[in-house]
Structure 1
Amino acid sequence: MKRICFVLIGIFASSCAMVQSIVKSTFPYTAVMVIPASARVGESHTALSTANSFDQDFTKDGNNAGRVGEVRVISAKLQSKDPSDYNIGNITSIKVYMAKADGSEEVMVASRNDITPNVGDGIVLDIDNSNFLDALVREPSVRLRMVYVLRKAANVDVSLKVSLGLGAYPHN
C-alpha cells in the first residue's frame, strides 16, 4: 500500500526533479533471461530481454527520467525463476549489458566471474558503475544482454530474473 501511495505522489509531482530521482532510484529494472536446454557447456552464450521498471507503467511515454541525472547501477541480482530451485552454480560466469532497445549505446553494468558450483538459486552480481546511464533510462525501454558460460547443462529451459537497482540524482 505504501508503494502505491508513493507512486501516486510521484505521478502527480512528476515534474519535480527530486521526486523523479527518488522514483527512479526506488524501482529496479528487471528482465527475464532464458537459458535454453540446448546451450552447450563451456561455450559463451547470449540471452536478450527487454528490461522494465515498475515506474514506467505510470508515465505517458514509458519513462519518468526527464529530470534525473548521474544515473548509475547500485545493485545487481540474479534469481532463479523457472525452475525456482535452479542452481545458478551451473553457470561459471555472467556479464550483463544495458543498451537502448535497438542495441546501441551498450554498456556493461554487472558481472560475476567466480560463481561457485553450489551457490543456490540466487546471487548478487558485481556492479560496474563506471558509466552514467542517464540517456538509457530516458528511453521508453531498454535491452539487457546477458553473456554466460555454463558449467553444467540443464534438462529444461531455465528462466533467470535479472534485477538492476539504480541510483539517480535530480538534474534540472
Structure 2
Amino acid sequence: MKKILLSSVVVMLVFIRCGTVQSIIKSSFPYTATLVVPASSATGTNLNAISEGSSFDQNFVKDGNNGGRISNVRIVSAKITAVVPSDFNIGNLISARVYMAKANGADEVLVGSRTDIGPNSGSSIVLDIDNSNMLDELMREKKVRIRMAYVLRNRISLDASLRIVLGIAADPAR
C-alpha cells in the first residue's frame, strides 16, 4: 500500500506542471487560512482578521506556484470552522465577509460572506460564495492574503482561532 501511495505521489510530482493536473490540484485542494478573533474585540463594530492563505501548491511545489497553467479560476465553496476552542460558537459573529488579495493587500476580491449568522450557529458555517470575479491573477501569486471582515455579536472570553477553507475550481490554461 505504501509503495502504491509513494508511486502515485512521485507520478503526480512529475506531471505537476501539466495544466490539466494543475487544474485538478487547484480544484481538489482548498486554500486555507487560520484567523484569530481576539477576546479584546469590541462588539457591534466592523473588525478585521488577516492571515496568509496556503494551498497544496504553495506547500509542496518547488517554485511555490503553477498558477500560470490554469485559467477561469473561481470560488466554489467557502466555510468557516472553529479550531480553538473547537466548540466556539460562530454565532458570536453577526456577519463575516472573506476576501482574498495579493500578499501586500492589493487587488482584494470578496470570495464569500454571511450577513445573517444566527446566534446558535455552532462551530462551523458555510458562506455564500461570490464567484463574480475570476481569481486567475491571484492564483499566479506565490502568496495570498485572506482577510475576514466581521462584526462580533457577543464578547468572547478567549481568543478564537477560525479556519477559513476556500474551495477553488479551475480550467487548464490554453
**Greater than 2 Å deviation, 4+ residue runs:** 1-10
Preserved contact between residue 68 and residue 169 of structure 1 (Cα < 8 Å): yes
| Counterpart-to-counterpart distance in 2, 1:165 and 1:48 | 18
Preserved contact between residue 80 and residue 86 of structure 1 (Cα < 8 Å): yes
Residue 145 (structure 1) aligns with: 147
Give the Å deviation of 1:84: 0.4
Structure-2 change in CA distance of 1:73 and 1:7 (3 Å):
farther
| Counterpart-to-counterpart distance in 1, 2:95 and 2:87 | 19
| Counterpart-to-counterpart distance in 1, 2:115 and 2:8 | 37
Q: How many residues align?
A: 172
Report the aligned-residue RMSD: 1.6
**2:114 equivalent to 1:112:** yes
* TM-score, reference length from structure 1: 0.95
Structure-2 change in CA distance of 1:81 and 1:98 (3 Å):
same
Give the Å deviation of 1:13: 0.7
Preserved contact between residue 25 and residue 56 of structure 2 (Cα < 8 Å): no
Q: Which amino acid aligns with 2:85?
A: P
Q: Which amino acid aligns with 1:129?
A: N
Give the Å deviation of 1:15: 2.8
Give the Å deviation of 1:59: 1.1
Q: Name the SS of the counterpart of 2:67 in structure 1.
A: coil
Give the Å deviation of 1:5: 6.0
Preserved contact between residue 27 and residue 54 of structure 1 (Cα < 8 Å): yes
| Counterpart-to-counterpart distance in 2, 1:25 and 1:80 | 23
* TM-score, reference length from structure 2: 0.94
Residue 135 (structure 1) aligns with: 137
| Counterpart-to-counterpart distance in 1, 2:5 and 2:35 | 26
| Counterpart-to-counterpart distance in 2, 1:65 and 1:148 | 29
Unmatched segments (≥5 aa) in structure 2: none
Give the Å deviation of 1:54: 2.2
**2:50 equivalent to 1:48:** yes
Preserved contact between residue 31 and residue 49 of structure 1 (Cα < 8 Å): yes
| Counterpart-to-counterpart distance in 1, 2:167 and 2:7 | 20
